[in-house]
Each structure stands twice: as structure tokens, then as C-alpha cells.
Amino acid sequence: MKIAVCDDEKVFRNDIIELLNKYSAENNIILDITEFDDGGKLVASKTVFDMIFLDHQMNDLNGLDTIKSIRQKNIETKVVFVSSYSEIVFDSMKYNAFRFIVKPVSKETLYEAMDSALEISNSERKLIVKDEMYNESIVVYEKDVIYAQADNVYTYIITEKGSYRYPYNLSALEEELDSGGFFRTNRSYIVNLEHINSYDKTGIILSNGHKAVISRGKYKDFNNCYLNYLKRSTSR
């Protein structure tokens, strides 16, 4: 997940980045964070961010003008305003602001924004796979993937509707999938945490009844990852 933090005061940027890094570690997800000290540099960036934490009162381009420029480029990134100027909250909503957080930023408000953003992103994420029965490429939503299994240079993705071939190996799929919603249990399997019915040290029983093997060395990491996932899910 690519995130921008834009504030002309470094102390506030550091506060947000510190909380984001803690969130990343606690939830076993990868966050690629870039910081900007003014809105003009953010608008000029060629990177399309998944989420932006944006101050309003800045020396160059203020927050409202920044989000206006971003929206004019048809970029639907989620923008979280972080400001002491609560009177601009209604103006920010004109540009489809995702959240408005009043400084100083608390752990609870930032974590809630991240949880909500990830939940929305996960429901929208898609994969392009091959339907071998009809010899055509189709779209599969990540949330519908029960598990993926390696098959030489290819990978097979299993959903309730059927099995589809992903054109690359399991490691490539692992990089493409949302790191907070999936876990690689061994060299051959990636499982969707949403589709776990039960598990022990020998394996994971999935929603379709299939048992995915988990390697001995990965059990502790898996257990922590799954418990954190359940914690996030119940707090939403």
C-alpha cells in the first residue's frame, strides 16, 4: 500500500509516520511511505498513492488546493485531512475526503482510518486469471480467493466457483495480493485469512473443506498474523 504524508512541519510528519510504522508491524502489512513538505511537490509526484495524509495550512499549496489538484487529475486516492483547522471539514468533503482528523493525531483515529481504508481496498482488489474451460481471461476478486496452490511455473487460484490459472508463480502472486489478508503457509500454499474455519500445527481447514499444510517454521508467524487479522476484523 503506497501512502503519502504531506505536512510542512516535520514533527507532525514524523508523528504520523511513526504510527503508520507501528500499524504496519502490528498488522503484518507492507506500507510504502513517502513524505512531502508541501502540497505542490505532492501534486507534481508521478506516484499514484493509495492513501494520503494531508495537512491544510502549508506555506506553498494548502491542503484544499492540493486535494482539488489531485481530483482534477482523476485520482481517486483516499485523502485523510490532518489539521487543526476544523472549520474546513465541510470544504474538504466537497473533494471526497476520506477522513478528517484533528491534530494531534491519536493512535485510535489513525488506526480506524487505516482499518476502514484496507477493508474498502480489499473488497475492490482484483486478479486477472485464466479460465481454462472456456480459454478466456477473467477477473477474480481477491476476497473470493480461498487459497492458491503452486503448480510448477504457474499457480492455481481456488474460489467457490472454480479453479483458475494465474499466469505466474506463487511468489509473484504473493507480491500482488494484499499482505494483510493472505498468508503463505509453505512453498506451495497461500491462504485467504477470511476463509479459515480452523487450524492447528498440522494445517489449516479452509471454508471449502480443503486442508492447507503449514510448515513448522511458519506456524508462530501465521498464528500471530491470524490473531491480528481477527482483532482488526472485530474492531470494525
The CATH number that applies at residue 167 is 2.40.50.1020
- Among residues 123, 141, 166, the one where a domain terminates is 123
User: Which residue segment(s) compose the domain that 173 sits in?
Assistant: 126-235
Q: What are phi and psi of 129, to 5 degrees?
A: -130, 175
Mark whether 51 and 138 lie in a shared domain.
no
* Other residues' Cβ atoms within 10 Å of the Cβ of residue 214: 23
Which ranges of the chain have pLDDT less than 70?
74, 122-124, 134, 179, 234-236
Q: What is the CATH number of the domain that holds 50?
A: 3.40.50.2300
- In the block, residue with C-alpha cell 491534530: 103
Tell me what pLDDT residue 173 has: 92
Tell me what pLDDT residue 236 has: 55
Taking only the tens place, the pLDDT of each residue in 84-94 is 877 788 888 88
Distance in angstroms (rounded) separating the CA atoms of residues 180 and 178: 6
Tell me what pLDDT residue 74 has: 61
Taking only the tens place, the pLDDT of each residue in 115-164 is 998 888 766 677 888 877 767 888 888 889 999 999 988 999 999 989 99
Mark whether 23 and 64 lie in a shared domain.
yes
Tell me what pLDDT residue 87 has: 78
User: Of all helices (H) and strands (E), which one includes residue 2?
Assistant: strand 2-6
Tell me what pLDDT residue 139 has: 85
Mark whether 182 and 157 lie in a shared domain.
yes
- Among residues 88, 123, 158, the one where a domain terminates is 123
Mark whether 74 and 166 lie in a shared domain.
no
Distance in angstroms (rounded) separating the CA atoms of residues 188 and 152: 10
Model confidence, pTM: 0.60
Q: Is the peptide bond before 104 cis (omega within 30 degrees of 0)?
A: yes
Tell me what pLDDT residue 234 has: 67
Distance in angstroms (rounded) separating the CA atoms of residues 101 and 109: 7
Show the beta-strand stretches assigned E in 39-188: 51-54, 78-83, 99-102, 126-131, 136-141, 145-151, 154-159, 163-166, 182-184
Amino acid type, 58: M
Mark whether 139 and 112 lie in a shared domain.
no
Distance in angstroms (rounded) separating the CA atoms of residues 55 and 103: 9
* Other residues' Cβ atoms within 10 Å of the Cβ of residue 82: 27
Q: Taking a C-beta distance cutoff of 8 angstroms, is the pair 50, 2 a contact?
A: yes
Would the CA dihedral through 220, 205, 199, 203 be positive or negative? negative
Tell me what pLDDT residue 23 has: 94
